[in-house]
Structure 1
Amino acid sequence: MTEPHPWRRYVALGDSFTEGIGDPEPASQGGHRGWADRVAEVLSAQVDGEFSYANLAIRGRLIRQILDEQVEPALELKPDLITISAGGNDIIRPGTDPDLIAAQLEAGIVRLKQSGATIVVFTGTDVGFSPVFRSIRGKVAIYNENIRAIAAKYDLIVADQWALVAIQNSNMWAPDRLHLNAFGHHEIARTVLAALNVSNDLQPNSPQPLTAARWREARTEDLVWAREYFVPWVLRRVRHQSSGDGLSAKRTTAGPVFSHLAD
């Protein structure tokens, strides 16, 4: 018989990855579902009594902003499970140092350890499959090694995206190529639950089969992507703007999970 998991109060910290961008769901708080909501849904369904979930992540946040804005509110919620994914927006910026970014993350981990909660961190995706981000693959790998060292030092759980071959596929990503789509978020949820050793019924490639785009369709999509996503992203960098400017977290208090799983 499988033992029930021990967690009753889950708080997620991070940026657009944790907010769930790329996985739109009008019925979910904030209009996006994402892997963290999916994990919370599974955890909530497996406990008798109260289970609470808060998601403090905001798209576009750099690691310093995540630590300054989210760590103390997270501690105030008294979680027994924390996930934190931070540094991705820093890594993709030219000239940033993965060692310095990791040092910032470690400082945040030291603060979060005060909660006594189980803490899950994430390695970055192996971006070798992506023509857009292939050039920073080595930088991501260095950051990942730092994350693994931090995890070993502070007894953290690692959700290993680098080894997750399933998401090294354009069909797992939203049209902007920056964020996972519903399929990708689903795979991350499965990875996190596996790292937590929580049994679940989530199946690969749910909720529907993936179809590969034909060559001509893919080239047309390249042009559309550049116009609708890449150029605006470059302009925001030039103007020192963020997609999350003026936004607040979608679940600032720890409350019940309302599942919106597809039939």
Structure 2
Amino acid sequence: MSFLEQIEERPGAAELRAASYRVLGLKRGASCVDVACGAGYAVAELARKGLKVTGVDADPAAVEAARLRAPGAMFHVAHSADLPLEDESMDGYRALRLFHLLEDPVPTIAEAHRVLRPGGRIVVGGQDYGFLLIDSSDQDLTDVICLGLESRAVSPRATRTLRDVLLDAGFQDVEVSVHSQVVTEHQQMAPQLKAAAGAAVEKALITQQDADSWLGEQSRRGRRDRFLAVVPTLLVGARR
């Protein structure tokens, strides 16, 4: 599977997608755009619910994978701040796992406001890297390594700003919910742990010896069934 497909098939991913659909609350026949649609899992699921779905992603390869998963949907290769959609043409707007990649969420939210009809629903969100929890015997070192993970994203804490951004853009009835994924399988997060420790070394936050020691501890925790990570995702819903 591609990386995008692996993300959508992790434990808890289907439940998170379902939670985002509940926030939208769209009825059969409504139109919806899924921005940063990735491999098209949400597009396909929303289409099966009877919605008229358009998928948008800046990555042509992602759009090609999404077309195969949801052949009846409409797709565009486009940036989230420049959607090829008419004004007030959508009943729903969805964008998850996008905002940590953007330097500024404001143009994207302004574009969402433009394409939604009055009364239309929006749900945006994703992981806020500042909320990641990993158990360790050295929590101070763990916190520094998590900063290394944050350094790999353009805007690692962007999701916590989305309530303000939506209100400033004129959205109403803004609500925030948190959906946490509890991970007790070390292997499930081993690549992210290695990437975080490596980034912390690159940023001179820790030494390579610190990184190796911490990764070794996390691996031992996994073998002893003592590994624990909690990955919260924020969903922010509102009405146009």
Give your verdict on TM over 0.5.
no
TM-score computed with the length of structure 1 as normaliser: 0.39
